[in-house]
């Protein structure tokens, strides 16, 4: 993974071939494909499958906690599963690669599908069609996470990503209240 990430950062994700990755890592193509189905899997690993972990963390939060706070805590599980250095690498790669951006958005759609019913259970539908409110809230939280991540990468991954994420939530609350 480290060899591949270094190549992706140096040469670009799309420009780097699997043959270059296996040569740098000193493994065979067969070994590569035993561990990774695609080049995208090197970057994201099991991150796309973290939706259930986020859902579990959300369910552990008190039902009466404001949804933004509850989701903020729930998404905090991601920072315990990845080093800040790896997060910064992934952030840099996603911002420079259309293929990774598409895979990243697909991951978000899977998370949205998993999280939306629980969000809606907590906040209700307000008379809207079932699914609309939960999906809108989760999509908004994911957009905030993306905005915070992009700012974090632009700042050289200095400081806390969680603080930037909280600032995006606060900005939304201020706009909604104002």
Q: CATH number of the domain that 131 lies in?
A: 1.10.357.10
Residue 167's pLDDT band (cuts 50, 70, 90): confident
Residues 84 and 140 in one domain: yes
Residues 74 and 159 in one domain: yes
Q: Total structural domains in the chain?
A: 2
Q: What is the distance between the alpha carbons of residues 61 and 58, in angstroms, rounded to a whole number?
A: 5
- 108-143 per-position pLDDT tens digit: 999 999 999 999 999 998 899 888 999 999 999 999
14 in helix, strand or coil?
coil
Tokens read off for 106: 């697909």
- 65-112 per-position pLDDT tens digit: 999 889 988 988 877 777 777 878 888 888 889 999 998 998 899 999
126 in helix, strand or coil?
coil
Residues 52 and 91 in one domain: yes
> For position 150, what pLDDT does the model report?
85
Residues 85 and 144 in one domain: yes
> For position 130, what pLDDT does the model report?
87
Q: What is the distance between the alpha carbons of residues 40 and 26, in angstroms, rounded to a whole number?
A: 19
6 contacts: CB under 8 Å, gap ≥ 6:
24
Whether residue 178 has pLDDT greater than 60 = no
Which is higher by pLDDT, 53 or 149? Answer: 53
Q: What is the distance between the alpha carbons of residues 137 and 119, in angstroms, rounded to a whole number?
A: 8
Residues 56 and 16 in one domain: no
Whether residue 47 has pLDDT greater than 90 = no
> For position 48, what pLDDT does the model report?
65
Whether residue 177 has pLDDT greater than 70 = no
Q: Domain holding 31: CATH number?
A: 1.10.10.60
Residues 98 and 160 in one domain: yes
| CA distances for 110 relative to 69, 83, 124, 149, angstroms | 21, 22, 21, 19
Q: What is the distance between the alpha carbons of residues 70 and 57, in angstroms, rounded to a whole number?
A: 9
Averaged pLDDT, 23-28? 94
Burial label for 28, CB within 10 Å (0-12, 13-18, 19+), is: exposed
Residues 53 and 35 in one domain: no
Residues 23 and 54 in one domain: no
Q: Mean pLDDT, the chain, as a whole number?
A: 88
Residues 159 and 121 in one domain: yes
Residues 98 and 114 in one domain: yes
Burial label for 79, CB within 10 Å (0-12, 13-18, 19+), is: middle
Q: Taking the CB of residue 126, how many other CB atoms lie within 10 A of it?
A: 8
Averaged pLDDT, 22-40? 91
Residues 58 and 6 in one domain: no
Name the residue range of residue 37's domain.
1-44
């Amino acid at each position: 993974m480290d060899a591949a990430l270094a190549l992706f950062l140096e040469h670009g994700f799309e420009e780097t071939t699997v043959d270059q990755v296996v040569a740098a890592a000193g493994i065979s193509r067969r070994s590569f494909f035993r561990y990774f189905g695609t080049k995208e899997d090197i970057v994201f690993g099991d991150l796309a499958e973290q939706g259930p972990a986020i859902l579990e963390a959300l369910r552990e939060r008190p039902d009466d906690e404001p949804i933004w706070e509850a989701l903020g805590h729930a998404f905090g599980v991601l920072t315990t599963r990845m080093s800040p250095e790896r997060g910064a690498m992934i952030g840099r790669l996603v911002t420079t690669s259309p293929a990774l951006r598409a895979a990243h958005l697909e991951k978000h759609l899977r998370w949205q599908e998993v999280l939306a019913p629980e969000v809606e259970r907590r906040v209700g539908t307000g008379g809207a069609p079932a699914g609309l409110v939960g999906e809108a809230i989760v999509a908004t939280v994911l957009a905030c996470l993306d905005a915070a991540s992009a700012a974090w990468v632009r700042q050289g991954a200095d400081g806390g990503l969680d603080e930037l994420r909280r600032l995006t939530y606060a900005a939304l609350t201020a706009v909604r209240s104002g």
